[in-house]
Structure 1
Amino acid sequence: MTREREVVVLGAGMHPWGKWGRNFVEYGITAAQAALADAGLDWRDIQYVAGADTIRNGYPGFVAGATFAQALGWTGARVSSSYAACASGSQAIANARANILAGLVDVALVVGADAAPKGFFAPVGGDRPDDPDWVRFHVLGATNPTYFGLYARRRIDLYGATVEDFAKVKVKNAKNGLHNPNARYKKAFTLEDVAASPVVADPLRLMDICATSDGAAAVVLCSKEFAAKRTTNPVRISAVSTVTPTFPSAVIEMPDIATDSSAAVQPNDLSFRASLAHAAYEEAGLGPEDLSLAEVYDLSTALELDWIEDLAICGRGEAEKLLRDGATEVTGRIPVNASGGLGSFGEAVPAQAIAQVCELTWQLRGQAGARQVANAKVGITANQGLFGHGSSIIVTR
């Protein structure tokens, strides 16, 4: 990718994750104001507002871009709202970035926030038998932890992973989250702590699965020219991948019940998640060997190991060795989830892809404190939403 097609992350901000019992708009505005302050800008400087939608917070959540723009104060800025489940934040980033690259605006604000219910996420909006997410809940009885457990069992059967490996991921990420002021859980865990927690979806225990949370994240994006007047050490977004799967899938995935096989293409040798990373590397002109760190979508501890391989950081079945050797620690060769990951934050659905970019921004600036990765220059994110949505974003210095 040429530098002409890069945009700069001028500001990053978050509202801490937790269970605060307040409206999602309040969280989003807090994050937005923090990102604006970090960028050294006034709200009136923003020309475009990209909101990541939350479908659990009524109509304002469905039009999040306009909701946040109204709460900050109408200024005539362009606006968009995006929904892609857990990839909503990356879709919002992609929208803002596209407008900047098209020359329509110079500076944009991207915001995602959620006020999540307690317990497992359930489909909203009544009976929707044409929705594969609704179908897997009601026909298959497969809540999210159920398929997390299936993926974990697959790693055990194919690669010899152990429940202790999964627990080691929790211990590592909790240690990182302990040093993150925005994390919900700031507590160290031992392997024994994880083993003592109740089984939720065999082989996964409670401490292996992320919670649901309130929280928010925001970034200010701008053109190179706009940034040149305000920073001498820019952090850049060098790629945003939002590719869809091929059909049929080359590897075992959850069934895509609504896929139209008449539009099928020949599968490649990459899974959906690996395809996301491949497209990001191709766009940025980089490879896994260039990475300083990765922020991945650890809905469960076992899924972090899958993502490490999907990002081509190692070969299939080799993620456990990286973990056991300490390579994915903050001080290791390729730190993974230096932020503490979703295990330390929980899911605030539309905010989490944006929060990953916030973390990479702080890491590449050298502002991550006790969880700082030494000499961080290139970071990658990985996130998967529903129904063919996903994302991988590469941030560079």
Structure 2
Amino acid sequence: MTGDVAVLGAGMHPWGKWGRGFVEYGTVAARAALADAGVEWRDVGSIVGADTVRGGYPGYVAGATFAKALGWQGARVTSVYAACASGAQAVDAARAQILSGIADVVLVVGADAAPKGFFRPAGGDRADDPDWLRFRVLGATNPTYFGLYARRRMAVHGDTPEDFARVKVKNSALGALNPNARYRRRVTAEEVAASPVVADPLRLLDICATSDGAAALVLSSMTFARRHGVLDPVRICAVSTVTPRYPSTVLDLPDIATDSSAGAEPPAGTFRASITRAAYEEAGVGPEDLSLAEVYDLSTALELQWYEDLGLCGDGEAAKLLSEGATAPGGRVPVNVSGGLASFGEAVPAQALAQVCELTWQLRGTAGDRQVAGARVGITANQGLFGHGSSVIAVR
């Protein structure tokens, strides 16, 4: 396709709490991606950095920060911030530069050194920040929001805490196979049920942690890839970064805002579904073509919601899909074969890039014990704050 760009390299710094700065993490991931691509840093025409608001001024100009750390060599530089969609919007910026002919090879980097506990809005009190209002006026931290969403799924669709726990069991088993994951231990349903309640009905093991980590990609034009000797690269053929459309104008809770009763069906065309639908349309594929998906499992209940928004099943059928094994290894569409955020935790600027790294390794057939047999088409999906969301489709 004319809109395709090649993924020449993918690299990561393992997730965890390493006590170092985001620049060091990002530089490690960048060098790993360059080595994977067989490309020298001096031959990169542009670098796009996904910003971190927790890294001080260097975090707000991440592109230049990483260019300096790798060594000034004259590359064009771009810095992007879009909350949890920062990495995907960085990919989108890189792809636009390649397709417009501005650069043949672009390095994309995202990294974070996250504080422990809840993410607080950066910069102090901000009455125009919906996060600040949610935290301070309602006392609704992110786990509270996750709990409300889980309660809604229980009320509307009949999901149970046992259904949520199955998501954690699945993802922890896959994370145990991933050398880049922070948590590499299998978890049982009994352990989920025994963990402390954080926001009823969700327990500690239903909610992802905060983490340090980094991910990077080397993208190129298809012409450069062929000159470089890569005749059949993984290709990014769609990047969706659409915003909500009226009447679904609220990113976080569009369905709750429009429900007329506790038993009402969610309206068609919710924001999360519109993100993935735009990606499908651009790529010319549909849910039936997917080999795997990497989705934003901030909580176990939210992963179930993504099954429906990706079109893997109808509304309210996610728990059944999970229990049938359709989203597990060997199933129809394995989801979060990386282990997901359940195994990694949040390193905000890096996580959408980490999703594309996993697709790359899976589509190459180099994912080791996590490998999805015959993987040809993969999709990522995440949502962020203030209308930010993204979905990337990669094929081979």
Other-structure match for 2:347: 348
8 Å Cα contact 2:292/2:379 also seen in 1: yes
Partner of 1:77: 75
Please point out which of 205, 222, 225 is paired with 2:223. 225
Distance 2:372 2:11 in 1: 19
Provide Cα deviations, 1:36-93, integer angstroms capped at 9, x if missing partner.
0000011001101000000011000000000000000111111110111110001110
Matches within 5 A, 1:98-247: 98-229=96-227, 230-247=229-246
Q: CA RMSD in A?
A: 1.3
**CA 53–252 in structure 1, closer or farther in 2 if over 3 Å, else same:** closer
Matched, 1:277 2:244: no
Indicate the residue corresponding to 1:261 in structure 2.
Answer: none
**Within 1, Cα distance between the matches of 2:92 and 2:252?**
26
Conserved? CA contact 2:85–2:382, under 8 Å:
yes
The one-letter code of the counterpart of 1:201 is A
Task: Find the partner of 1:16 among 8, 14, 17.
Answer: 14
Q: Secondary structure at the match of 2:2?
A: helix
Q: Does the C-alpha gap of structure 1 residues 23 and 253 become closer, same or farther in structure 2, counting only changes over 3 Å?
A: closer
Note the C-alpha offset of 1:126: 1.3
Give the equivalent residue in structure 2 for 1:265. Answer: none
Matches of 1:366 and 1:269, distance apart in 2: 36
Deviation string for 1:95-122 (max 9, x for gaps)? 0000001111100000000000001111
What letter is aligned with 1:334? V
Say if 2:359 is the partner of 1:387. Answer: no
Aligned to 2:89: 91
SS of the residue 1:382 aligns to: strand
Structure 1: which amino acid aligns with 2:347?
A
- 1:85 is paired with a residue whose SS is coil
Q: Tell whether the 8 Å contact from 1:250 to 1:269 is kept in structure 2 after alignment.
A: no
User: CA offset at residue 252 of structure 1?
Assistant: 9.0
**Residue in 2 aligned with 1:294?**
293
CA contact (8 A) 1:250 1:270 kept: no
Determine the C-alpha separation between the residues in 2 that align with 1:331 and 1:29: 35
Structure 1 unaligned regions, length at least 5: 256-267
Q: In structure 1, give the amino acid aligned to 2:277.
A: H
1:247 CA displacement = 2.6
| Structure 2: 5+ residue stretches without partners | 255-266
| Contact 1:47-1:108 within 8 A present in 2 as well | yes
Letter in 1 for 2:395: T
2 CA distance for matches of 1:228 and 1:311? Answer: 33
2: CA distance between counterparts of 1:13 and 1:47?
18
CA offset digits 1:154-188 (Å, max 9, x no partner): 11111110100100000000000000000000000
Pairing of 1:314-325 with structure 2 (within 5 A): 314-325=313-324
Q: After TM superposition, give the deviation of residue 4 of structure 1 in Å.
A: 1.2
Distance in 2, matches of 1:163 and 1:362, equals 33
Q: Could you say what secondary structure the match of 1:86 adopts? A: coil
Percent pairwise identity: 73
How many Å separate the matches in 2 of 1:82 and 1:272?
Answer: 22
Residue 67 of structure 2 aligns to a residue in which SS?
helix
- Alpha-carbon separation, structure 1, partners of 2:321 and 2:234: 28
Q: Do the aligned residues in 2 keep the contact of 1:117 with 1:212 (CA within 8 Å)?
A: yes
Per-residue deviation at 1:253? 4.4
Moved more, 191-200 or 245-254: 245-254
Q: 2:312: which partner in 1?
A: 313
Letter paired with 2:371: Q
By how many angstroms is 1:250 displaced? Answer: 7.8
2:62 to 61, 64, 72: 64
Distance (whole Å) between structure 2 residues aligned to residue 64 and residue 20 of structure 1: 20
Q: Partner residue of 1:260?
A: none
Counterpart position of 1:327: 326
Stretch deviating more after TM superposition (242-251 or 131-140): 242-251
The answer to whether structure 1 residue 337 and structure 2 residue 324 are counterparts is no
CA contact (8 A) 1:251 1:271 kept: no
Distance of 1:157 and 1:252 partners within structure 2? 21
1:396 corresponds to which letter in structure 2?
V
Equivalent AA in structure 1 for residue 98 of structure 2? I
Give the conservation status (yes or no) of the 8 Å contact 2:251–2:385: no
TM superposition shift of 1:251: 8.7
Q: How much does 1:232 deviate?
A: 2.4
Q: Tell me how far apart the structure 2 counterparts of residues 253 and 210 of structure 1 sit (CA, whole Å).
A: 17
Quick one: distance in 2 between partners of 1:254 and 1:233? 41
Cα deviations across residues 375-394 of structure 1 (Å, max 9, x unaligned)?
A: 00000000111100100000
**Partner letter of residue 73 of structure 2?**
T
